[in-house]
Amino acid sequence: MSEKIAVVLAADRHPRPEQGATQGLFLAGLEHRPEFDVTVVPHLYDLAPDGPVVRMLRSIRGDMIVLAWLYPRSAFWVLDANGIRGRLGRTFSLPEEDATVRTRRKAGDVEIPDRTIWCFDLRACDGPEPYLQQIDEIVAEKFVPAEQVAERANGKARRLEEPTRSRWYPVIDLERCTDCKECLNFCLFGVYSLDAAGGTMVEQPDACRPGCPACARICPSGAIMFPQHNDPAIAGDPRASLQGLKLDLSQIFAGVDPAALAAQERQRALADNGASAGDLAPRQVDPPDEKPSLDQLVDNVDGLDL
Ligand code: SF4
Ligand code: SF4
């Protein structure tokens, strides 16, 4: 007997009525496919790391299909940060990335289960048909034909609820992160730390200052994402996030200096926290073996009169 395939349908943070209608169409389409085990959950980014939904998602052992109102990179790495890991599967929501900028996951990192997580972005959705068609193709390619599991009763999707609040924290794409530690040296709030293998990690996500995306602007690899930021380059767009320093068009045409903008955002976060730059200091870690050119930029930011 084949196992059912887990499909996770994650709601948006503040769903609009039309999003609820779209979600209903997806459920109607999925519930008539007996090979799926469908679960509806709240917004992935806002889930509590030790909450019931994350615990349930961690208990899923096999492949997973995730439908969320997020960039697929964001959804995948939010799951990874919560211990729900695998390989990121290709879908039409995830165009090919430039292979030259991808790096390996850090040595000594946690074991990655041998499974695939396909993430679909619902924000551009005009209807469920193309999504369901590709999901059927994934199933046909990787799993047994549907009729072999059709003897199981068609199941309704289950809904898992938990009280959520709007969270704000950085999510690292560990395939891109080169462990340069720029973010760790830049942040004044102790959000970043080093794991047992010396790799950069988000240790205290909720210490991040709401609205501050500064470290995403200075990450030289485009590895840091804030999934709810309105700039695609910061929210997880695979191509825009590789532009180097992150500025939107209006900022570029206004002649905004990326380093100064990051410094302003950090200063604003300090002020909101009732602190001054002198009260807090970045964590100091050993400099990377090969000093990247961005070091000079961060030095300049730290030298600004804040
Ligand atoms: S700045 Fe970016 S590449 Fe460097 S350690 Fe932080 S997340 Fe990784
Ligand atoms: S630099 Fe700003 S955005 Fe980055 S982790 Fe620290 S507080 Fe959050």
- How many distinct helices (H) and strands (E) make up the chain? 10, 10
pLDDT value at 149 more than 70: no
Tracing tokens 């709401």 back to the chain, one arrives at 210
Residue having the nearest C-alpha atom to atom 1 of ligand 2 = 187
Per-chain mean pLDDT for the chain: 81
Tell me, what's the pLDDT at 303? 45
Neighbouring C-beta atoms of residue 4, cutoff 10 Å? 17
Tell me, what's the pLDDT at 184? 94
| Residue pLDDT, tens place only, 35-62 | 899 999 999 999 999 999 999 999 999 9
The answer to whether 288 and 179 are in contact (CB under 8 A) is yes
For residue 178, give the ligand 1 atom closest to its CA.
3
DSSP state of 154: P
Report whether residue 172 contacts ligand 2, using a CB cutoff of 6 Å.
no
Summarize the confidence of residues 165-176 as an average pLDDT: 94
235-267: b (≥16 Cβ within 10 Å) or e = bbbbebbbeebbbeeeeeeeeeebbebbbbbbb
Between 55 and 138, whose confidence is greater? 55
Residue having the nearest C-alpha atom to atom 4 of ligand 1 = 180
pTM above 0.85, yes or no: no
What is the Cα–Cα distance from 178 to 199, expressed in whole angstroms?
9
| Residue pLDDT, tens place only, 87-124 | 888 888 886 654 444 444 554 567 788 899 999 999 98
pLDDT confidence bin for 4, thresholds 50/70/90: confident
Phi, psi of 3 (to 5 degrees): -75, 155
| Residue pLDDT, tens place only, 228-287 | 998 898 999 887 877 655 555 556 556 666 667 777 777 777 777 666 555 566 666 654
Q: Tell me the DSSP string of 104-121.
A: PPPTT-PPPPS-EEEEEE
Distance of CA 281 to the CA centre of its chain: 27
For residue 170, give the ligand 2 atom closest to its CA.
5
Cα 108 to ligand 2 centroid, rounded to whole Å: 26
What is the Cα–Cα distance from 178 to 223, expressed in whole angstroms?
9
Summarize the confidence of residues 182-190 as an average pLDDT: 93
What is the Cα–Cα distance from 138 to 286, expressed in whole angstroms?
45
